[in-house]
Homo-oligomer: A and B are copies of this chain.
Amino acid sequence: MTRGPYTVHLPGLPERVTIYEVGPRDGLQNEKAVVPLDVKVEFLARLAEAGLTTIEATSFVHPKWVPQLADADELLARMKPVPGVRYPVLVPNERGLDRALDRGVTEIAIFGSATETFAQRNLNRSIAGSIEMFAPVVERALKAGMRVRAYLSMCFGDPWEGPTPIEQVVAVGRELLELGCYELSLGDTIGVGTPGHVAALIAAFEERGVEAERLAVHFHDTYGQALANTLAALRCGVTVVDASAGGIGGCPYAESATGNLATEDLVWMLHGLGIETGVDLGSLARTSLWLAERLGRPSPSRVVQALA
């Protein structure tokens, strides 16, 4: 049985893609099981060993909201950073930034919403209020020499408002970038998007002066669309793709075991297309199998299941 894809190039795609690995943060925060600190430390080490170079390590969100990541401080104290690997940390507000500064974090991510309802539910304020909240976070982070990434969630639809108007996504996304974020990650938090929607959204950003090089995509595989949507985004010039090792992280807004796009499924496609990632697929799949045992449920990644 083959252990990896055969390579046949497709014209018009990038030569190299950066995988922004979100398993330790977006994956684990949406798993029911709270993973022991030792396992998290080993998970981070294994991901770097497998060749991932951008790994979101954890989040400084209040433990009341995300008990799964309550050990963020200990994790950062205990983990051994690998030279050349970036370990951004999600920071929800100024208090989170203070913790990140205390820990010597050099890269953070903020997490905005493209819809009013999700802004209220997740951030307890309006979209405008959330931008006001982020402004001093980004300003202080940049002054401290940090890089700041912005996530924008619910870019395709949300469970309350239906489809998110493209012009609304572009408007909020530009505000986040104008704060000084180096990159905007377009999140399909509930996984409803399809390839035409992806292409239209990226085109709308470009029409408003935001080039595809400043955009990343963050797809959830709730409806099985994540990889097809990624292909559409690559064709539009996007070169940064968020994914979660083993596809960990259930969807918080659907009764589905499927969360983030699995890094392995992404790597299979990228390597098949001859696109470099730097990732060793076998090593990564072994890591996801190892973690699945600790999580007590099989990996939802097709590749991990097939290579098991």
A residues sitting closer than 8 Å to B (CB atoms) are: 1-2, 5-10, 13, 156-157, 159, 162-163, 190-197, 199-200, 221-225, 227-228, 230-232, 251, 253-258, 262, 265, 268-269, 271-274, 301-303, 305-306, 308
Give 17 new A-B contacts, CB below 8 A, not counting A6-B163, A194-B271, A224-B303.
A2-B159, A2-B162, A2-B190, A2-B192, A5-B192, A8-B194, A10-B195, A10-B199, A13-B196, A222-B302, A222-B306, A223-B302, A224-B301, A225-B272, A231-B231, A256-B306, A256-B308
In contact, A268 and B225 (Cβ under 8 angstroms): yes
Q: Which residues of B lie under 8 Å from residue A8 when comparing CB positions?
A: 194, 196-197, 200
In contact, B199 and A269 (Cβ under 8 angstroms): no
In contact, B255 and A308 (Cβ under 8 angstroms): yes
Q: Within the assembled complex, what's the spacing in Å between the Cα atoms of A305 and B221?
A: 11
Q: Which residues of B lie under 8 Å from residue A162 when comparing CB positions?
A: 2, 6
In contact, B156 and A302 (Cβ under 8 angstroms): no
In contact, B199 and A156 (Cβ under 8 angstroms): no
Q: Which residues of B lie under 8 Å from residue A224 when comparing CB positions?
A: 227, 262, 265, 268-269, 301-303
The smallest beta-carbon distance between A193 and chain B, in angstroms, is 7
Q: A190-B2, A199-B10 are in contact. Are A306 and B223 (CB under 8 A)?
A: yes
Q: Which residues of B lie under 8 Å from residue A262 when comparing CB positions?
A: 224
Q: Within the assembled complex, what's the spacing in Å between the Cα atoms of A144 and B65?
A: 69
The smallest beta-carbon distance between A152 and chain B, in angstroms, is 17
Main secondary structure of the interface of A (DSSP, over half): loop
The smallest beta-carbon distance between A105 and chain B, in angstroms, is 33
Q: Within the assembled complex, what's the spacing in Å between the Cα atoms of A271 and B193?
A: 11
In contact, A157 and B269 (Cβ under 8 angstroms): no
In contact, A194 and B254 (Cβ under 8 angstroms): no
Q: Which residues of B lie under 8 Å from residue A193 when comparing CB positions?
A: 5, 272
Q: Which residues of B lie under 8 Å from residue A222 when comparing CB positions?
A: 302, 306
Q: Which residues of B lie under 8 Å from residue A230 when comparing CB positions?
A: 228
The smallest beta-carbon distance between A52 and chain B, in angstroms, is 18
Which of B1, B190, B196 meets A273, CB within 8 Å?
A: B196
Which of B1, B156, B254 meets A159, CB within 8 Å?
A: B1
Q: Within the assembled complex, what's the spacing in Å between the Cα atoms of A255 and B258?
A: 20
Q: A2-B157, A6-B162, A196-B273 are in contact. Are A306 and B254 (CB under 8 A)?
A: yes
In contact, A305 and B258 (Cβ under 8 angstroms): yes
The smallest beta-carbon distance between A166 and chain B, in angstroms, is 8
The smallest beta-carbon distance between A42 and chain B, in angstroms, is 26
Q: Which residues of B lie under 8 Å from residue A302 when comparing CB positions?
A: 221-224, 256, 258
Residue from A10, A257, A258 with most neighbouring chain B CB atoms (10 Å): A10
In contact, B194 and A268 (Cβ under 8 angstroms): yes
